[in-house]
Structure 1
């Protein structure tokens, strides 16, 4: 018990390092387009490939973190981030940049998988997940404000992520070095069984709820990141705003997102999970409509800012819900990886829908998709409401859930990978 609070600091730091690449992906994509001569679609594709690599790491390591040992797995992930993102920052060759982004993305996903599995031992996973989101949001916000003053090009964002991974490396000494530590502590009479990849899903508890949540959160992430991928163009072309004004709106939205993360931590379990997930997603759907149809600064700013207030609130409860389905954190990793897949598909979806239906038509479609996704997510939350976030109740039911995983998000989300900020950076 005493070792768990001490381990929270390294886990939050690892969570921050792993989430930083998705959080900075909008400016990475914009700078790839401006600095390497890539088209917006090609730069967005590089971002999608990075996210797919991160998601693949989550799927691969969902049931293997304990076997590898948290410390070893974390150092593998951080090392891949340093090498991948560092090499991408040091070259102007497009193939080498793409290769570095893929390696770094896999490292980010590995770091997040270790953080998700490690936070499973915490007494209050919702509080731990909001702390992680708050830390990564603040870090990304500081970089968003700093990087534009240090010059252009893709080098600085990639170098910043690699540096963050290097700074977190010494903290991994606070993680467990051996495999199966948590499982042995909780279930001394049931030794760990070796799990083959094809049997991981069949061995998971609450398979139906977990699968429903994974599919729903994939659609949830894809819908929001579809709009995020074209938000810059909506502000510039449809709302008629200047580049400076659009950048200022995004900066304010980032600050609003920090407020949302703080509010989620303050609320905790007072409202349960179903109400924040269902009502919050409905509010987000309305914000999507407002943003997609914005033709002036007030409408555009209102939609973006309110959207980023509620996004992290809902995300934190979704992470806690996924965590509650398996005390070993496997559903947390798998659901987060499904979210990353939705994030990666978002920019392509937004581009296609905006070209075919226009921005307002795209907003209607995405609003409907969000409302459809809210129904099964709320149903899963109601179904699992017998396992509340209260620490004592979690302990009585045999273990604490995991807190958080890959993608997501962000006061100015992370995962919203396709935004071209080359005009605002």
Structure 2
């Protein structure tokens, strides 16, 4: 049936949108992490650290799935793998609506994460086969922030009415949408190099490992704070009437950062965009210390959302640039999941033993370290790109 359907152009805007939905389906819970953690805590009556553990289990499972994709991507028929993963995720989400036990739910979400992580790894590998992976990753963030903003705004008020089931039903619904869009994608065979793209270069492991570290640290620093951003606002004395619209608006405006990536691409290289955006992110994240001032809380949320959406496509693009088959892109996805999982787990521990000021300080340190780690591979790839252009 899918063979009779029209296929979108491999490197066109429609393909970027569909690939973004496919990748987002595997990690949509990350985009509504704050609503998920707060909803689980409120709906099940558990401590924030327990809710953070459930959420982290979901992302650690995703990391395992993404790591498996690194080794399996050459041998998988990606369309069949993506279809099976989406169906599996929908099934697990529906089962999750009936579970109230924290241990059982933790195990179940770990399994969900493993399936979703494999899906993301497959999607990232396919994105690496496109002509402009940085721009597709930018579109990915547009989708994530746009849909995530709706989730953060709409889901928390629904939990007291419908319980935690509404959270998992939302995840299942998004996976169903991605499943319906999947048949419209072209095949993206490994054997077909992107026309007009840069020639394939051997994998340079030292800069690749630096890139992996940068992605891990960046995602951990951002998500460690973002997962508890609702609780941070409440602790600072802000009402839900301020927090909810702020997070929704911040996510929608965060898409501006991704749009800039789509427009700019790599015309200015990767070093300057990465260095400037992460440096500003460090400053804006530190501003959360004054979340007791509503204007600062609002501005910091909007600022970090835009900068996050701008920087991470370039970091993932760094990983994708090392291998057109998609293995290093899948590795970047694995490190991203490790960071997204470790951030909330670390912050939950810090909240039990230190408080929000310590969480903010640690996030700032992780982000700064990420910027330092990213400079080496970014400079290397920029020099290679200039050398290629000079010979054309």
Please, what TM-score do these two structures have when normalized by structure 1?
0.80
2:158 is the alignment partner of 1:183: no
Superposed counterparts of 1:202-221, under 5 Å: 205-221=203-219
- Following TM superposition, by how much is the alpha carbon of 1:8 offset from its aligned partner in structure 2, in angstroms? 4.5
Please, what TM-score do these two structures have when normalized by structure 2?
0.86
2:248 is the alignment partner of 1:251: yes
- In structure 2, how many angstroms separate the alpha carbons of the residues matched to 1:72 and 1:12? 18
- In structure 1, how many angstroms separate the alpha carbons of the residues matched to 2:289 and 2:275? 21
Equivalent residue, structure 2, for 1:140: 148
- Measured against aligned partners, the alpha-carbon deviations of 1:251-281 in whole angstroms (never above 9, x if no partner) come to 2211221222222222222321111111111
Stretch of structure 1 that moved more, 97-106 or 318-327: 97-106
- Following TM superposition, by how much is the alpha carbon of 1:77 offset from its aligned partner in structure 2, in angstroms? 1.2
Equivalent residue, structure 2, for 1:4: 10
- In structure 2, how many angstroms separate the alpha carbons of the residues matched to 1:116 and 1:383? 22
- Following TM superposition, by how much is the alpha carbon of 1:174 offset from its aligned partner in structure 2, in angstroms? 4.0
2:32 is the alignment partner of 1:35: no
Is the alpha carbon distance of 1:48 and 1:365 closer, same or farther for their aligned partners in structure 2, counting shifts above 3 Å? closer
2:374 is the alignment partner of 1:374: no
Question: How many pairs are equivalent?
Answer: 373
- Following TM superposition, by how much is the alpha carbon of 1:299 offset from its aligned partner in structure 2, in angstroms? 2.0
Q: SS of the counterpart of 1:86?
A: helix
Superposed counterparts of 1:13-412, under 5 Å: 13-148=21-156, 150=158, 151-174=161-184, 182-186=189-193, 205-237=203-235, 239-354=236-351, 358-388=355-385
Is the alpha carbon distance of 1:339 and 1:92 closer, same or farther for their aligned partners in structure 2, counting shifts above 3 Å? same
- Following TM superposition, by how much is the alpha carbon of 1:312 offset from its aligned partner in structure 2, in angstroms? 0.7
Equivalent residue, structure 2, for 1:418: none
Is the alpha carbon distance of 1:292 and 1:355 closer, same or farther for their aligned partners in structure 2, counting shifts above 3 Å? farther
Is the alpha carbon distance of 1:37 and 1:357 closer, same or farther for their aligned partners in structure 2, counting shifts above 3 Å? closer
- Following TM superposition, by how much is the alpha carbon of 1:162 offset from its aligned partner in structure 2, in angstroms? 1.3
- In structure 1, how many angstroms separate the alpha carbons of the residues matched to 2:354 and 2:76? 48
- Following TM superposition, by how much is the alpha carbon of 1:156 offset from its aligned partner in structure 2, in angstroms? 1.2
- Following TM superposition, by how much is the alpha carbon of 1:55 offset from its aligned partner in structure 2, in angstroms? 0.7
- In structure 1, how many angstroms separate the alpha carbons of the residues matched to 2:360 and 2:157? 34
Equivalent residue, structure 2, for 1:419: none
Q: SS of the counterpart of 2:74?
A: helix
In the alignment, structure 2 segments of 5+ residues that lack a partner are 1-6, 195-201
- Following TM superposition, by how much is the alpha carbon of 1:382 offset from its aligned partner in structure 2, in angstroms? 0.5
Equivalent residue, structure 2, for 1:401: none
- Following TM superposition, by how much is the alpha carbon of 1:214 offset from its aligned partner in structure 2, in angstroms? 1.0
- In structure 2, how many angstroms separate the alpha carbons of the residues matched to 1:2 and 1:101? 33
- Following TM superposition, by how much is the alpha carbon of 1:154 offset from its aligned partner in structure 2, in angstroms? 1.3
RMSD: 2.8
- Measured against aligned partners, the alpha-carbon deviations of 1:280-306 in whole angstroms (never above 9, x if no partner) come to 111111111111343311222222221
